[in-house]
C-alpha cells in the first residue's frame, strides 16, 4: 500500500458542502441580529455585514471542513468587547442550537453544536481572564444539559 492509498483510505469524507455552511451562518446571524439581547451588540459593532458573514463562513469552513481560509483572531476581538456576560454567550448558544436543530444534515448539526459549545466556553474563560485573572472563573450553563427536572432527581 502506498502513502497515497493510506491517506485516501483514512481521510474522512466531508460532512457538508460550503453552501450548507454559508446557509447556516446566514440563518444564524439573521436570528442573532433580530435578538433582543444580542442584536444591539452585533448591529452596533458590525458595519459591513457581507464581510462579517464571509469571515464567519470562513471560520466555520475551517473548523468543520478543515479549510484554511480563516485567519482571524476571535479571542482578542471578543475580549475587547465591553459588557459581555455569561448570559449573552448562553443566549448565543440557544440561538445556534435552534438554528442547527432545524438542519436536515445531522452530522453537520452535531459537529457545529459541539464546536460552538467549546468555542463559547473558551471565549467566556478568555473574557473573564482578560478582565480579572484573579477572580474565580464561572462556567456557562449549557442548554444541552439543563438542570434535571426536580421529579427526575433521585430521592
Ligand atoms: C456573547 C456572544 C457573542 C457575541 C456578542 C459576539 C459578537 C461578535 C462581534 C460583534 C464580532 C465582530 C468583531 C469585530 O469585527 O471587531 C464577532 C466576531 C467573531 N465571532 Fe463572535 N460573538 C459571540 C460569540 C461567539 C462564539 C460562541 C463564536 C464561535 C463559536 C464566535 C465567533 C466569532 C468569530 C470567528 C469572529 C471573527 C473574528 C475575527 O474576525 O478575527 N463568536 N463576534
Whether residue 69 has its Cβ less than 6 Å from ligand 1: no
Q: What is the pLDDT of residue 13?
A: 78
Structure pTM?
0.89
User: Mean pLDDT throughout 54-64?
Assistant: 97
Residue nearest to atom 34 of ligand 1 (CA): 74
Whether the predicted pLDDT of 1 surpasses 50: no
19 contacts 57 by C-beta, under 8 angstroms: no
SS3 at position 150: helix
20-47 pLDDT tens trace: 999 999 999 999 999 999 999 999 999 9
Percent of all residues in the chain with a pLDDT value above 90, rounded to a whole number: 83
Which one-letter DSSP state was computed for residue 110?
A: H
Ligand 1 atom showing the smallest separation from residue 115 Cα? 30
Ligand 1 atom showing the smallest separation from residue 81 Cα? 10
User: Mean pLDDT throughout 85-93?
Assistant: 98
Where do the domains of the chain lie, and which CATH numbers do they carry? 18-131 (1.10.490.10)
Rounded CA separation 89/98 (Å):
14
Amino acid at each position: 500500500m502506498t502513502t497515497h492509498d493510506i491517506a485516501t483510505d483514512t481521510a474522512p469524507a466531508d460532512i457538508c458542502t460550503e453552501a450548507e455552511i454559508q446557509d447556516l451562518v446566514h440563518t444564524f446571524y439573521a436570528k442573532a441580529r433580530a435578538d433582543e439581547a444580542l442584536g444591539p451588540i452585533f448591529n452596533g459593532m458590525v458595519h459591513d455585514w457581507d464581510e462579517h458573514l464571509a469571515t464567519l463562513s470562513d471560520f466555520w469552513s475551517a473548523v468543520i471542513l478543515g479549510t484554511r481560509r480563516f485567519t482571524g483572531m476571535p479571542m482578542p476581538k471578543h475580549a475587547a468587547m465591553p459588557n459581555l456576560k455569561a448570559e449573552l454567550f448562553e443566549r448565543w448558544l440557544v440561538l445556534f442550537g435552534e438554528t442547527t436543530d432545524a438542519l436536515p444534515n445531522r452530522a453537520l448539526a452535531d459537529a457545529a453544536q459541539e464546536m460552538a459549545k467549546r468555542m463559547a466556553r473558551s471565549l467566556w474563560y478568555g473574557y473573564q481572564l482578560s478582565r480579572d485573572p484573579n477572580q474565580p472563573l464561572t462556567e456557562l450553563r449549557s442548554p444541552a444539559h439543563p438542570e434535571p427536572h426536580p421529579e427526575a432527581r433521585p430521592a
